[in-house]
Amino acid sequence: MCGIIGYTGPRKALPILMQGLRLLEYRGYDSSGVALAGEGGLRTFKKAGKLEKLEEALPASSAAKAGIGHTRWATHGVVSDENAHPHLGPAGKVAIVHNGIVDNWVELKRELEAQGAVFASGTDSEIIAHLVERQLKDREPAEAVAAALSQIEGTYGIACVFADKPGLIVAARNGSPLAVGIGDGETFVASDPSAFSAHTRQAVFLHDGELVILEPKRWETRTLRGEKVDKRPETIPESAGQADKGVHPDFFLKEVYEQPQAVSRALGNGGRLVRDFGAAKLGGLDLEPRDLHNISEVVFIAMGSALHAAMVGKAMVEAWARIPARTEDASEYRSGVPLVKADALYVAVSQSGETADTIAAIKEIQVKGGRTIGIINAVGSTLARLCGSGAYVHAGPELSVAASKSYTSQIVACALLALSLGRARHLSLAEGRELVDELAALPEKLEAALVLRPRMEEIARSLKGASSVMFLGRGFMLPAAMEGALKLKELSYIHAEGFSGGALKHGPLALVGPEVPTFALLATGESFGKTLSNMSEVRARGGRVIAIVNGEEERAREAADEVVVVPSSIEALAPVIEAIPLQLLARAAASELGRDVDRPRNLAKSVTTE
């Protein structure tokens, strides 16, 4: 859940490491540090807090030509300078940075302390530095790292530098992503290739159980058992290194405004829509119409905003294809004993493609013989490689921790899958063409919805004194309500919950009062009238109701204190359009309260640990 960057080559390492850490800030962190390897040995600098704190502690310059850097998101041990990475071995012979969790750290620490080891931090990661340094007495660095990791149970992406071999970096992966950058007489390693893409677009991705040896003009990949692994560099997308806010004050707002273009890319700029046949073209699915016809069930596996997008996808599959569908919280699904069916389709939905719980769930499904595909944003990610087939959403880099354009693009990708299934089974040509037209019109409608920013900022100012905020929706709008609540609490830290209108009388109505505003999400269709009734119930008990509506404005005004109107659409696609005002609301509320919009406290962009 944190960031790693490493460099070895002819240039000074420190500026490159700091640039890489800046590009990894979006992942979320609470401390940072670097280790520099030079002729005088290893020097480490680390600080709790933002990168500015680390920069204050750094030397004015350093001649070191190799080093590693890290941004930490605390799991074991409080947020402190001591617990920040990198961690040194007791004799200062090795420095390591580590993403992941050492499951058997308590046993290992007790064993090492019984042998006289003294630890400088309260982290599980420092144990790796001790183990590697002990192995260095009898082994070369790569063999020492492999031997140390053989004692580790858990997940890791690690990078190590060595006092006695200052131009060498050894890195390894098990469950936490690592990419190697191949430059001209220089090499890099990072948890995300965006950290080095300004210097090279040639990358090699490590798989679990693999290790890489990096020197300026040489790199070699092996298994942890020492067997050589032949890999060829891939060219990463040019957009991978984009980290410019442009005219916007934060990445989140920039990415909200990028949604019309992101959704257009998810639609293949129209190339994924085939109006003549009223169908969608998703070549990456690797499924023929006959395969689509024989699917008995569709199961979406996801977490967070991706789970809400999948919930919309589930409703689309059932409405358009008449196939049973469900969504599964990946963390719960993989920890149980899932019943996997050979004729079902299992769909992993993820922005980063590195979500640990989703990866574990998909692996379990594959072990049990299930067919898996991915709806992923990050090209070359672990989930994309694991699933092997599916659809990239092409939302582009999303650097704010809170999802925006990836969420709406995921819904669109789910819609394309549902349309493909529907045309293979249930939808007529005319119905398919209608859906194609509605999807094609989405980018323009999203552009129109962005003009609501001043209105949502005005409403956000009224939330300052709210003790909680409720979001109501039915049918397709229930996941939209849940996502609206998630955005508000992520960014502003105001407590918010999304409920189904039908659940209101079963508990949530007890929260209603003047200090708890309610946002009701309405879309013309089956759920409209019942949601109006729920709004009246809230107002009858003194609650303030703000309606977000895509049609039938006058009816909504009768039951609401305020109404925000978005461009009209079919009910199934209303969650995409109504996401815009809710994102603008959350961002405005956060700004009013002085929150860090791009990096909310305690959260990380990519949850790569359980």
Query: pTM for this one?
Result: 0.81
Give the pLDDT score at 609. 59
The domain that holds 237 is classified in CATH as: 3.60.20.10
Tell me the C-alpha to C-alpha distance, in Å, between residue 277 and each of 316, 410, 428, 437. Answer: 19, 23, 10, 12
Residues 230 and 259 in one domain: no
Position 241 scores a pLDDT of: 46
What would the mean pLDDT of 336-342 be, rounded to a whole number? 88
Q: Which helix (H) or strand (E) holds 20?
A: helix 13-24
Residue pLDDT, tens place only, 59-100: 988 999 999 999 998 877 888 999 999 999 999 999 999 998
Residues 208 and 263 in one domain: no
Percentage of the chain with pLDDT > 90? 76
- The answer on 284 and 235 residing in a single domain is no
Q: Which domain holds residue 72?
A: 3-241
342 shares a domain with 230? no
pLDDT at residue 189 greater than cutoff 70:
yes
For residue 470, is it within any domain?
A: yes
Same domain for 226 and 116, yes or no, is yes
Say whether both 61 and 171 belong to one domain. Answer: yes
Work out the percent of the chain whose per-residue pLDDT is above 70: 98
**384-432 pLDDT per residue, tens:** 889 988 889 999 888 899 999 999 999 999 999 999 999 998 899 999 9
> Is residue 211 scored above 50 in pLDDT?
yes
Q: Are residues 153 and 111 in the same domain?
A: yes
Are 174 and 26 members of one domain? yes
How many other CB atoms sit within 10 Å of the CB of residue 25?
Answer: 20
Tokens encoding 198 = 């300004």
Model confidence over 271-280: pLDDT tens digits?
999 999 999 9
Planar angle of CA 449, 455, 461, nearest 5 degrees: 135
Q: Residues 193, 198, 202, CA angle at the centre, nearest 5°? A: 55
* Domain end position, chosen among 440, 467, 484: 440
Residues 234 and 126 in one domain: yes
Residue 459 has pLDDT above 80, yes or no: yes
Contact predicate 380/236, CB 8 Å = yes
Please give the tally of structural domains in the chain: 3
Query: Residue 314 above 90 pLDDT?
Result: yes
Q: Which residues are annotated as catalytic?
A: 2, 605
Domain final position from 176, 208, 241? 241
Q: Is the pLDDT of residue 240 over 70?
A: no
- Domain membership flag for residue 445: no
On whether both 157 and 208 belong to a single domain, the answer is yes
Residue 447, domain member (yes or no): no
Residue 448 is assigned to a structural domain of this protein: no
pLDDT of residue 1: 55
Which of 400, 415, 440 is the last residue in one of the domains?
440
Residue 126 resides in a domain = yes
For residues 220-246, average pLDDT = 81
pLDDT band at 456 (very low <50, low <70, confident <90, very high): very high
The arithmetic mean of pLDDT across residues 530-544, rounded, is: 92
Task: Output the pLDDT for position 338.
Answer: 85
Please tell me the distance from the alpha carbon of residue 9 to that of residue 187, in angstroms, as a whole number: 6
Q: What one-character DSSP code corresponds to residue 154?
A: B
